[in-house]
């Protein structure tokens, strides 16, 4: 069993897109793809943990520009071959330390990432992300709802309330992966004081949280610094 998320996704790179072939999720996927395609129209976007670029391919066409980062060279190689538009860049990076010193981004997207953030690091993640954004920038977080029979069962829960799955790869290796499933209440509490215009959307298999980043709020005093619950 390995616990390193980056190692797990590097090993899973060539298998990753099978998750998007689950028959029961196809209607939801088409609906989310249509919605996301227009959500960043004309805006510069920073995409966190872009993986194989599955969502980048829908966001990119109408966006002003996309800087997509991920910790794994293996998934980025697939993303780069999938999305070749000149206004899209893929870079190796850490979701907890997104690039600073670039022009503030007008929007941010993270697909199926928040669920892998330990509860104790949610504030750190959001603070780092918001530092790269212009005041009022639009943030969209997209992730899984837990659906019995479709989701990988939860195998354990730690003292902080993080949940874990035992995931098997084609080579037979089994990986202990932190995967949280936050409720709407958890998500709203997470961004209370640091966001405005908060909208929670829900499909059968997925949820999305959309908000405007209000940078004026001091992160250390916000509930995001000590959220109670988080999120495949
Ligand atoms: C569940 S996948 C999501 C990929 C993509 N966003 C999607 O929805 O198809 C999680 C991604 O997080 C990446 N990752 C893991 N730890 C990371 C870190 N510290 N910083 C950036 N990316 C990381 C993995 O390499 C993997 O591509």
| Residue of 113, 142, 167, 177 with the most ligand 1 atoms within 8 Å of its CB, for mutation | 113
Task: Kindly give the distance from the C-alpha atom of residue 220 to the centroid of ligand 1, in angstroms, as a whole number.
Answer: 26
Closest-CA residue to 95 (of 122, 55, 125, 118):
125
Which residue's alpha carbon is at the smallest distance from atom 4 of ligand 1? 51
Domain ranges in the chain are: 5-225
Confidence check: pLDDT of 212 > 80: yes
Q: At 227, is the pLDDT very low, low, confident or very high (cuts 50, 70, 90)?
A: very low
215: pLDDT confidence band, cut at 50, 70 and 90?
Answer: low
Question: Which residues' Cβ are closer than 6 Å to ligand 1?
Answer: 5-6, 9, 49-51, 54-55, 70-72, 75, 94-96, 111-113, 116
Q: What is the mean pLDDT of residues 197-207?
A: 98
pLDDT (tens digit per residue) in 158-180: 999 999 999 999 999 999 999 99
Mean per-residue pLDDT of the chain:
91
- What mean pLDDT comes out for the span 134-162? 97
Averaged pLDDT for residues 138-156: 97
Cα(49) to centroid(ligand 1), Å: 4
Distance CA 214, CA 197 (A): 10
How far is the centre of ligand 1, averaged over its atoms, from the C-alpha of 50 (Å)? 6
What's the CATH fold of domain 5-225? Answer: Rossmann fold (3.40.50)
* Predicted local confidence at residue 101, as pLDDT: 77
157 burial type by CB count under 10 A (0-12 exposed, 13-18 middle, 19+ buried): exposed
What are the CA-CA distances from residue 26 to residues 4, 29, 31, 101, 113 (Å)? 29, 5, 9, 39, 20
State the Cα–Cα distance between residues 199 and 176, nearest whole angstrom: 32
- For residue 91, what are the β-bridge partners? 69
Does residue 36 surpass a pLDDT of 70? yes
Tell me how far the alpha carbon of residue 214 lies from the centroid of ligand 1, in angstroms.
Answer: 25
Q: What is the pLDDT of residues 108-133, one digit of tens each?
A: 999 999 999 999 999 999 999 999 99
Using CA atoms, how far apart are residues 147 and 100, in angstroms rounded to an integer?
37
Six-digit token string for 229: 């619950």
Tell me if 16 sits within 8 A of 50, measured CB to CB.
no
């Amino acid at each position: 069993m390995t616990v390193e998320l980056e190692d797990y996704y590097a090993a899973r790179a060539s298998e990753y897109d099978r998750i998007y072939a689950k028959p029961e999720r196809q209607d939801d996927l088409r609906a989310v793809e249509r919605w996301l395609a227009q959500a960043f129209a004309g805006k510069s976007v920073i995409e966190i943990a872009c993986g194989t670029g599955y969502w980048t391919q829908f966001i990119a066409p109408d966006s002003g520009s996309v800087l997509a980062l991920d910790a794994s060279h293996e998934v980025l190689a697939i993303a780069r071959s999938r999305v070749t538009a000149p206004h899209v860049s893929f870079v190796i990076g850490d979701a907890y330390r997104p690039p600073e010193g670039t022009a503030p981004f007008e929007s941010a997207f993270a697909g199926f990432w928040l669920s892998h953030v330990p509860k104790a690091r949610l504030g750190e993640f959001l603070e780092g992300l918001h530092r790269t954004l212009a005041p009022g920038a639009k943030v969209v977080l997209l992730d899984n709802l837990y659906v019995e029979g479709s989701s990988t069962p939860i195998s354990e829960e730690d003292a902080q309330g993080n949940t874990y799955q035992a995931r098997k790869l084609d080579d037979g290796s089994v990986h202990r992966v932190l995967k949280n499933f936050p409720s709407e209440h958890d998500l709203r509490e997470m961004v209370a004081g640091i966001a405005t215009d908060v909208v929670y959307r829900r499909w059968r298999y997925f949820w999305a949280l959309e908000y405007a980043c209000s940078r004026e709020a001091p992160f250390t005093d916000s509930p995001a610094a000590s959220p109670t619950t988080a999120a495949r």
